[in-house]
A and B are shown apart, each in its own frame.
Chain A
Amino acid sequence: MKESVKRTTALMKYLPLILLVVVSLFFGILYPRFFSIKNVLNLIRQMSFLMIVSMGMTFIILMGSIDASVGANATFCGVIGALLAPYLGGGAIIIGILAGAGVGALNGTIVTKVKVPSFLVTLSLMGALDGAALLLMHSSPVNISNQTFLDFSNGSLLFSLPNVDLIPIIMIAVCYFVINKTAFGRSLYAIGGNEQATFYSGIRVRQIQIIAFMISGIMAGVAGCLQASMFEAACPYMGDALMMNSIAAVVIGGTQLSGGVGGPLRTVFGVVLIAIIGSGMNFMGVEPATRHIVTGAIMILAVSVNIDRSKMAYVK
C-alpha cells in the first residue's frame, strides 16, 4: 500500500516533465519547423503573459484558494495604463500595477473579513472588472502611442534581450525567492496544508491571505500592462484567456488545488507545457472553439491526476 502511494507521488512529481518531453517530441516530429529558432522565440514571447499571471496564481493555489479574477484584472489594469499613458508615460505602468494590487487587496479582504469563498468573490469581481474595463475604454480599444509605455515590452534593459522576455524571468526569480526562502512563503504552504493549525500556531493567516491576493493582483497588473504595451493598445477582454490557462498551468505543473503542495518551478513547467500545446494546435490549424474544449479537458485531467483526495474528507 505504502509502496504504491510512494510510486504515485513519484509519478506525479515527474509527470509534468514526462508530458513535456512527450508533447515536444510529438509536435517536433510532426512539424520539423516547430523547433526552429523563430518559432521557439515566438513561443517564449507568447507565454510571457501567462507565465507572469501563473506565478501570481501559484501563491493563491498554494493556500488552497483560487483567483478567477486575474484575466479581467489584467484587462482592467491594461486599460488604466493605456488611458494614463499620454499624461504619465512610464508612470502609467506603475499606476496600472497598483490598480492590480488594489483589486487583489479587495479580493483578499472580502475573502478573509466578509468570509465569502474565494472562487465566488473572484468570480463576482471578474464580472465587475470586465464591466469597469469596458466602461473605461467605451467598449473599443484604447491606442497607445507613448514611447516610454511601449518600451515596457519592446525596449531592452539588459543586453539585447527584449523586456517582454526579461520580465517573466525576473518574476520567476522573485517568486521562487519569496515562496522558497522567506517566512511568508513557508506560511503559504502551512495555510494550504492545514489552515486551522496554522491559525492556532500564531501565524497571521488572514494578513498572509490578503498579501497573497495582492501579489496575484500585482502579477495580473504587470501582465495587463505588458500586454497593452505589446499590442500598442488595450483591447476589450484581452486578458480573459489568462484565467483558465493560468489555473490549468499551475495545476498541470503539479501544484495541488487542495493547497500545500507544489511551487513556482513546477508552474514554469506547466506554463511551458500549456504554451507548447497551444502553439502545436496553431500548427495543426485547430480552431479557437476546439481549443476551449481541449483546455477544459486538460484542466479536468490535470486536476483529477494530482488532487490529494486523502486530504479532503469529502468533495464539495
Chain B
Amino acid sequence: MTADVRKTKKIDIKKVVNLVPVIVIIALMIIFSFLSPAFIRFRNLVEILQLSSIYLLIAAGVTFPILMGSIDLSITGIIVGSGVIAATIAPVGGLFTVFLILFIGLCLGLFNGLLVAKIKLPSFIVTLATNFIYCGIAVALTEGYNINIRSNFFSNISNGRMIPGIPNSIILAGVVYIVFVYLSEKTKTGRYIMAIGGKEDVAARMGINVAKYKIIAFALSGLLIGCGTLFLSARLGMASARLGSGYLFNTLIAVVVGGTALSGGVGGVRRTILGVLIITILENGMTLGGIDVRIQYMVKAVILIGSVFLISIPDRSRQDLMK
C-alpha cells in the first residue's frame, strides 16, 4: 500500500521536472518581450535561432558522454583546436576545409575517449587536461591572430539563405540534430550508451563492449563539436584561438537544463534542444535588457548548480554522498 503511494508520487515529480523546461521557455519569452520590445521582432528571433543552432550541435554532442555518466569539459579546446588546425592546413574554405574541421573534431574527441576507456582515467580530469592541451595547440598555431577563411562556399554554409529570410545554419543544424536524435534513440549505439549510463557493470555483464561504446560516445561528442565549430567559423569567416570561450558553461547548462542527469542514464539528445533554447533566449534577453556580461556569468553559475539539483530530485537515492 505504502509502496504504491510512493510510486505514484515519484512519477508525478518526474512529470513535473520533465515539463519545467517548456514552461521556462514560455515564461522567459513573455518576460523578455515585456522588458524590451526588440526581443520579439522577427530579426531577433532569427538571431536567437541562429545562435541556438551552434549551441544545439555542441550541446547534442556533449549529451552523449553525459548520458554515460561521464563528462566532456574539453568543449572549448575542441572548438578552437578543430577550427584552428583545419584552418592552418587548408585556409581556402573549400569542401576539404569542411571535411577537415569535422575530422579533427572527431580525432580530438577520440583521443579523450581513448584516455578514458583504455587508460581508465576519470573523464573530468582527462578532459580538463586535454582542454588545456588543445587550447595550447591552437594558441601556438595562431600566435594570437585570427586565421581568415574567405570563400563564398564556406560562408554560405552558415549565412546563405536557401529559404528566404532563414539562414542555412538553422536548417542544416536541424537536419544534423535530427539524425543524431535518431542515432541516440533508435540504434544499438545510442541504446548501449544509455545502458552504460544506467548501470555500467550490468551493461558489461550483458555483453556490451563498454570500452568501445565509451570511445564512440566521446568521438561523437568531438564530431558534433567539430560540426558546431564549422557553423561558427563559417558564420564569422575565420578561425581563432579565442572563439571558444563561454561555450563550456552554456552547453553544459543547456544539457542539464534540458533534463539529462549528470549521473547518467536519464534524459537524452532529444531533450537537449529545450535547454539550448532556454540558454540562448536567456542570454539574448539579458543582453537586450542591458545586463552586464560579468553578472550574466554569475546568473549562469546559479542556474547550472540549481538545475543539476532539480534534475537529480527524481533519483536522489542513487547519490547518497557526494564527492
Contact = CB atoms under 8 A, between A and B. Distances in A.
A196 B320 CA distance: 9
Size bin of chain A's contact surface: 35 or more
B122 A315 contact: yes
A123 B73 contact: yes
B305 A292 contact: no
Interface string B289-323: 00011111110111011001100100010011111
Interface in B112-132: 115-117, 119-126, 128-132
Given A131-B295, A303-B121, A316-B264, A287 B322 contact: no
A296 interface: yes
Contacts of B304: 120, 124
Interface of B: 68-71, 73, 115-117, 119-126, 128-133, 135-137, 139-140, 200-201, 204, 210, 249, 252, 262, 264, 292-298, 300-302, 304-305, 308-309, 312, 316, 319-323
A295 B122 contact: no
22 contacts: A112-B322, A116-B322, A117-B308, A117-B322, A118-B322, A125-B301, A131-B295, A131-B301, A195-B321, A247-B128, A292-B132, A292-B136, A293-B132, A293-B140, A295-B132, A296-B131, A300-B121, A300-B126, A313-B200, A314-B200, A316-B68, A316-B70
A123 B301 CA distance: 9
A114 B264 CA distance: 18
Nearest to B210: A314
Identify which of B73, B131, B308, B323 gathers the most chain A CB atoms within 10 Å of its CB.
B323
A128 B140 contact: no
A127 interface: yes
A313 B204 CA distance: 12
A279 to B, nearest CB: 19
B136 to A, nearest CB: 3
A124 B301 CA distance: 5
A5 interface: no
B136 A127 contact: no
Interface of A: 63-66, 68, 110-112, 114-121, 123-125, 127-128, 130-132, 134-135, 195-196, 199, 205, 244, 247, 257, 259, 287-293, 295-297, 299-300, 303-304, 307, 309, 312-316
Contacts of B302: 128
B305 A118 contact: no
A115 B322 contact: yes
A292 B124 contact: no
B321 A196 contact: yes
A124 B253 CA distance: 10
Given A287-B140, A289-B139, A296 B301 contact: no
Contact of A128 (B135, B139, B201, B301): B301
Contact of B123 (A121, A125, A135, A316): A316
A114 B69 contact: no
A293 B301 contact: no
Contacts of A110: 305
B129 A296 contact: yes
B249 A135 contact: no
A313 B201 CA distance: 8
Contacts of A196: 320-321
Nearest to B120: A315
Contact of B136 (A117, A119, A293): A293
Given A289-B136, A316-B68, 17 more contacts: A116-B312, A123-B73, A127-B301, A128-B302, A196-B321, A244-B128, A244-B132, A257-B125, A259-B323, A299-B125, A299-B129, A303-B126, A312-B120, A314-B210, A315-B120, A315-B121, A316-B122
Identify which of B132, B137, B308, B312 gathers the most chain A CB atoms within 10 Å of its CB.
B132
B298 A131 contact: yes
A116 B295 CA distance: 22
Contacts of A127: 249, 297-298, 300-301
Contacts of B316: 115
Identify which of A64, A119, A296 gathers the most chain B CB atoms within 10 Å of its CB.
A296
B321 A135 contact: no
A131 B297 contact: yes
A287 B143 CA distance: 10
Nearest to A114: B309
A118 B71 CA distance: 13
Contacts of A303: 121-122, 125-126, 129
Contact of B323 (A65, A68, A128, A314): A65
A300 B115 contact: yes
Nearest to B214: A315
